[in-house]
């Protein structure tokens, strides 16, 4: 198999990955960079469990080829904040959002982009932005509540969005 070298910045650290160039970014992150917070859900960009940030955008890493990350910045749930204290993470704990928890790294990564672009989202803004993240436990009302709470924290001077890492 022809291997490729992909150099990128993952959670603020320069990394070089020796990978099959066809490999989805998800597997490079989980199996090569050994960051297991990003989850595999559907494999076809339908559920949002695999969302991470590529140059600040909430890409679905299961359909994103690893080569797209060459020279780019990748942020996973592990890199969203230094001490798991991003307002979204704090709000998620405060409101006890997850049930099984499997989809929530993707939920939080999507919500982080929403708050970066819209620091004061309405319920409709949240529904529109989060429509691509499915939760089989049905925690949507708590997700929405936590996003409002995090927005409130950000507005009152909480930690800034960590996607610029």
Partner 1 sequence: MNGGNKRYTGNRFWLTACTLVFGLGLLVAMAPDFTGGKKPRELTPDDNPVIKKDSAASIKAFASVYKVLMSPRCMNCHPSGDVPLQGDDSHLHIMQPTRGKDGKGISAMKCANCHQPANTPGLHTPPGNPNWHLPPADMKMVFQGKTPRQLARQLVDPEQNGHKDLRKLLEHVNDTLVIAGWHPGEGRTTPPLPYAEFKKAWITWIENGAYAPKK
Q: Which span sits near partner 1 by CB under 8 A: 27-35, 69-77, 87-95, 128-136? A: 128-136
* Closest to partner 1 by CB, 98 or 121: 121
* Closest to partner 1 by CB, 64 or 105: 64
| 72 lies in the site for partner 1, by CB under 8 A | no
How far is the C-alpha of 152 from the C-alpha of 57, rounded, in Å?
22
Q: What is the 3-state secondary structure (H, E, C) of the chain?
A: CCCEEEEEEECCEEEEEEECCCCEHHHHHHHHCCCCCCCCCCCCCCCCCCEEEECCEEEECCCCEHHHHCCCEEECHHHCCCCCCCHHHHHHHHHCCCCCCCCHHHHHHHHHHHHHHCCCCCHHHHHHHHCCCCCCCCCHHHHHHHHHHHHHHHHCCCCCCHHHC
Q: Give the one residue of 31, 57, 82, 96 binding partner 1; rule: CB under 8 A.
A: 57
Q: Which span sits near partner 1 by CB under 8 A: 6-14, 70-78, 82-90, 130-138? A: 130-138
Q: Give the one residue of 30, 39, 65, 73 binding partner 1; rule: CB under 8 A.
A: 65
Q: Which span sits near partner 1 by CB under 8 A: 12-20, 33-41, 73-81, 114-122? A: 114-122
| 117 lies in the site for partner 1, by CB under 8 A | yes
CB 147 within 8 A of CB 114: yes
| 113 lies in the site for partner 1, by CB under 8 A | yes
Q: Give the residues lining the site for partner 1 (CB under 8 A).
A: 44-46, 51, 57-60, 63-65, 68, 109-111, 113-114, 116-118, 128-133
């Amino acid at each position: 198999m022809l291997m490729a070298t992909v150099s990128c910045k993952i959670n603020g650290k320069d990394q070089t990955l020796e990978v099959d160039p066809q490999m989805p970014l998800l597997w490079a992150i989980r199996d090569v960079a050994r960051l297991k917070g990003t989850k595999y859900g559907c494999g076809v960009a339908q559920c949002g469990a695999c969302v991470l940030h590529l140059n600040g955008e909430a890409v679905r890493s299961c359909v994103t080829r690893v080569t797209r990350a060459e020279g780019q910045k990748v942020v996973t749930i592990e890199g969203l904040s230094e001490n798991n204290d991003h307002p979204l993470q704090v709000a998620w704990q405060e409101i006890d959002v997850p049930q099984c928890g499997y989809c929530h790294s993707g939920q939080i990564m999507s919500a982080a982009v929403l708050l970066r672009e819209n620091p004061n989202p309405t319920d409709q803004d949240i529904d529109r932005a989060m429509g691509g993240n499915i939760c089989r436990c049905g925690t949507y009302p708590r997700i929405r509540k936590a996003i409002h709470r995090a927005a409130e924290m950000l507005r009152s001077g909480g930690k800034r969005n960590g996607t610029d890492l």
